[in-house]
A and B are shown apart, each in its own frame.
Chain A
């Protein structure tokens, strides 16, 4: 028996044994329930068990002194592409069947960098090359594991990426010379896909009821679009222009779909009342625009205008660099729009949690929620703040006092040594259009190769 117990202890990863943690004397920013000075938070088995003053902890609990520090819920990024081996399956305007959850990369050091910015959850998204892109995965930043499954936030609702405007048009219309080649075409792609999925469901219903005897052809693509129609999947749609946003709202209304979060949504401020009326949410950049033609008409007041119009709004990164300082991005809404502390913090905590359908489990400091915590040296909305510690499920995943230089989990045994900066040079940035460089180059491929070759030999 003793042997058996010992065996279990040996087999348990070290982390699991230290899931109990007591954070003492911090200024607790609960987000949903005000600020609590000099308050302790006790996390037992990965969940917040108590929030109160002068808490005592069971033996063996790790004690963290947060005196003079600020304790907030782990930051949530509703739009990111870190920890993914593939971003775009850009060969077809509809690829609802593909799933970013199949290519989670727990070895990506960007997860650790995000943790160093207090981010405990991100939405690992398919890219924006297709009108209906792939399904996404809500991940917890459990850095240190090699098993992709351990990144998944089990039980989080399914989500899928949609995209409007230039990206699908450039990829398919200009790139592959197929539809969509215009914004009208993008709308038609949605309508066709939804109609097809309706027919598909009917075919299978008829077969299951015995009305037809021959089994229909199975289509994972139609299955997935059908699940959107049934309301089982939340749409996260890459969007910029107000006219297109309204277009998609009309399409969704026609097909009875109501779970939608618009991503980027730079012209959201123009249609904020309409978004609120529909119940659509918005995930925006604080102040990032003009990187392509359709993103010129923008304002840093976007988040504030949307918030004050009653739209559930979040601020996202879409970047493995920006993800490290989302607290700064949220603070910008106080300069541009005078949001309150709670409103600004909600943009990176409870609101993105709502958009991902996980607000009952994370996004605020409440008893019963996951022990996902970020501790800052000063108020997280202060420009002088520095993240001190990040805790996921009660496990310390980042500690500024114990921050090793090389946090890579996996080193390619065949690679030759490179410094961090050399390594970065080889590392492609992970954005929305990641993986498309080659495809967009197809036409001018030979030209490009010649150019490359001539450059090869010019020095």
Chain B
């Protein structure tokens, strides 16, 4: 046989074979997997909250769970995953977040001639926008969520009042279109205003929403009439914003309202009462005052995992950072004063009770029989488990927590037939842990997304404290762009044992501000300084380091966020 001919036939065969197996991955840049069939052997199967089966095997084929059982024939092409003593859960579902959407750069806004009548996009009204346009499956936030056990996110675009529509993404690698499970799954609304243009306040937002909603309804009905019989009717105006709101007015698309605090929840319920759309409350932190109404009207709720922290920690931190003798002195005084101050004592008790209310909210919702999921707008993926443990300590059951991660969000998203439990025929989104997920020491070993295996079993050990952020040490220049001016200065970053010491000095001044709340996460560094004016103003720095430069943002309380950049200027100074 001719060798050339043999190679040709062989490559044809390989091509066909691969073609069948990797229908979905054809546009992807990542190398094609050897096989799309997996055999998960001998695991504890958590089919759904409260149902655990031992000694189970699972066959994953072409993105779906093709079989489950104690005695299965291993498919010839399967990759075998030995899962002895491991727990297999349905892949966790994030029903609301900005996962995969990078923060847009702060741009200077053009001057608006009439602030009472700005263009819709500047007013924050972009309901026609789809999060697909900004979603990046290879963004760090996607990897982080996947690493935390999540296989699915409903991603809302970032923005203001009406930022646009969410889409539901499988959290795999690849290109955006491949990862879309449902495009335009929800319309979004939040009490966020554009500064200086209408609607610039909460009252403006409420009025503008009512106006838009009524007009969407009217325009939608008009268009329908026109399509049936145009005679005597004006041709419908094309208005992309209103058109994208029709499905909300006809209840074909739910409206998610970000309602963090009690008054936000009230406003969201008020609007639902007025208009009757399908409401989903999301990123709820303080919703317990309306628990009856939520239950009565069967409103789906996504609770925020951004919970109030414990005060003790921050006190300790401040103590560590208090560098100067003066500050230590005043601190000692403060502590003495606090001990003697009955007002402070009462306050602490009151506050502790308030924090407890926040932490017990999930448990109370569970007791009331409200099916809630979680949302992840302001929470770090790496903290999710820790936070959920906190909720469990405050009364939430493990099954309730698991339901909030799997079955409940699947139901809220209308995807119960595809996801949320480990059952034959469902999409192979699986989260595999070495112990029960809720065990303190459990580690996520594998995550399956859409039948594709992500292996975290040999995760490199976390870098020791001393190593993280070593690239950040040094003296750095900075430039803050505030409208019409550039503020320059130096940031000194040094290490004292395992702790960072950071101070900031402006070029026009001889004093330095010592930073607190220092946090290092990969290449990202955040810290705050308190600038003392007639009232103290908190300035938050958020920097992202890259070799010898960094970029980021500076947030000056109540004045807004401004871009900052800088470069390496040499070794840190000891006495800055």
Contact = CB atoms under 8 A, between A and B. Distances in A.
Contacts of B203: 86, 89, 95, 98-100, 102-103, 126, 134
A446 B341 CA distance: 42
The A interface, classified by DSSP as helix, strand, loop or mixed, is loop
Interface in B108-147: 113-117
Given A214-B233, A220-B207, A455-B533, A91 B198 contact: yes
B196 A439 contact: yes
Interface string B195-237: 1111111111011001100110010011000000000111000
A288 interface: no
B326 interface: no
Given A419-B343, A452-B533, A456-B537, A99 B206 contact: yes
21 contacts: A89-B200, A92-B198, A103-B201, A103-B203, A126-B203, A134-B203, A148-B266, A178-B113, A213-B233, A215-B218, A405-B346, A410-B262, A416-B314, A419-B343, A435-B201, A445-B483, A449-B485, A449-B556, A455-B533, A456-B531, A456-B532
Interface in B253-272: 262-263, 266-267, 270
A100 B270 CA distance: 14
Nearest to A452: B533
Interface of B: 113-117, 195-204, 206-207, 210-211, 214-215, 218, 221-222, 232-234, 262-263, 266-267, 270, 289, 308-309, 311, 314, 338, 341, 343-344, 346-348, 350-351, 354-355, 358, 482-485, 487, 505-506, 508-511, 513, 531-533, 535, 537, 556, 559
Given A214-B233, A219-B211, A438-B196, A456 B533 contact: yes
Given A411-B354, A445-B483, A456-B532, A218 B214 contact: yes
Contacts of B487: 450, 453
Given A102-B270, A438-B195, A416 B200 contact: no
Contacts of B535: 425-426
B566 to A, nearest CB: 16
A217 interface: yes
Contact of B115 (A134, A176, A457): A176
Nearest to A85: B202
A85 B262 CA distance: 13
Most buried by B among A105, A425, A457: A457
A215 B237 CA distance: 12
A91 B266 contact: no
B343 A91 contact: no
Contacts of A219: 211
A455 B534 CA distance: 9
B343 A406 contact: yes
Nearest to B483: A446
B202 A97 contact: no
Nearest to A179: B114
B206 A102 contact: yes
B479 to A, nearest CB: 13
A214 B222 contact: yes
Contacts of B311: 416
Contact of A458 (B263, B354, B509, B559): B509
Contact of B202 (A103, A218, A416, A426): A103
Contact of B351 (A214, A405, A413): A413
B354 A457 contact: no
| SS of B interface (majority) | mixed
B321 to A, nearest CB: 15
Contacts of A215: 218, 221-222
A90 interface: yes
Interface of A: 85-86, 88-95, 97-100, 102-103, 105, 107, 126, 134, 146-149, 176, 178, 213-215, 217-221, 405-406, 408, 410-411, 413-417, 419-420, 425-426, 435, 438-439, 442, 445-447, 449-450, 452-459
Nearest to A435: B201
A447 B485 CA distance: 8
Contact of A414 (B308, B484, B513): B308
Contacts of B485: 446, 449-450
Contacts of A178: 113-116
B211 A97 contact: yes
Contacts of A146: 262, 289
B196 A91 contact: yes
Contact of A453 (B206, B207, B211, B506): B506
Contacts of B308: 413-414
Contacts of B531: 456-457
Nearest to A218: B214
A218 B531 CA distance: 48
B509 A417 contact: no
Given A218-B214, A453-B487, A411 B350 contact: yes
Nearest to B266: A148
A85 B489 CA distance: 37
Most chain B beta carbons < 10 A, residue from A89, A415, A449, A454: A89
B218 A406 contact: no
Given A218-B214, A419-B343, A454-B509, A98 B207 contact: yes
Contacts of B115: 91-92, 176, 178
Contacts of B314: 416
B196 A413 contact: no
Highest count of chain A CB atoms <10 Å: which of B203, B206, B233: B203
Given A97-B211, A98-B203, A98-B204, A459 B511 contact: yes
B512 to A, nearest CB: 9
A224 to B, nearest CB: 9
A222 B393 CA distance: 53
Nearest to A134: B203
A178 B116 CA distance: 10
A452 B343 CA distance: 33
B243 to A, nearest CB: 15
B509 A102 contact: no
Nearest to B311: A416
Nearest first, the 5 A-B pairs at minimum CB distance are A92-B116, A457-B509, A446-B484, A413-B308, A456-B531
Given A147-B266, A413-B354, A450-B485, A102 B202 contact: yes
Contacts of B509: 454, 456-458
Contacts of B484: 445-447
Contacts of A176: 114-116
Contacts of B289: 146-147
B347 A91 contact: no
A98 B482 CA distance: 32
Most buried by A among B207, B346, B355, B358: B207
Contacts of A147: 266, 289
Contacts of A217: 215, 218
A331 B84 CA distance: 85
Contacts of A134: 203, 207
A85 B263 contact: yes
A218 B537 CA distance: 44
B99 to A, nearest CB: 24
B334 to A, nearest CB: 10
Nearest to A220: B211
Contacts of A405: 343, 346
Contacts of A416: 311, 314
A146 B532 CA distance: 34
Given A416-B314, A425-B535, A449 B347 contact: no
Given A89-B201, A100-B203, 7 more contacts: A86-B203, A93-B116, A217-B215, A450-B482, A450-B485, A453-B482, A454-B508
B71 to A, nearest CB: 52
A149 B266 contact: yes
B347 A406 contact: yes
Contact of B559 (A410, A449, A450): A449
Nearest to A178: B114
Contacts of A459: 511, 532
A130 to B, nearest CB: 9
A134 B487 CA distance: 39
B196 A95 contact: no
Nearest to B267: A102
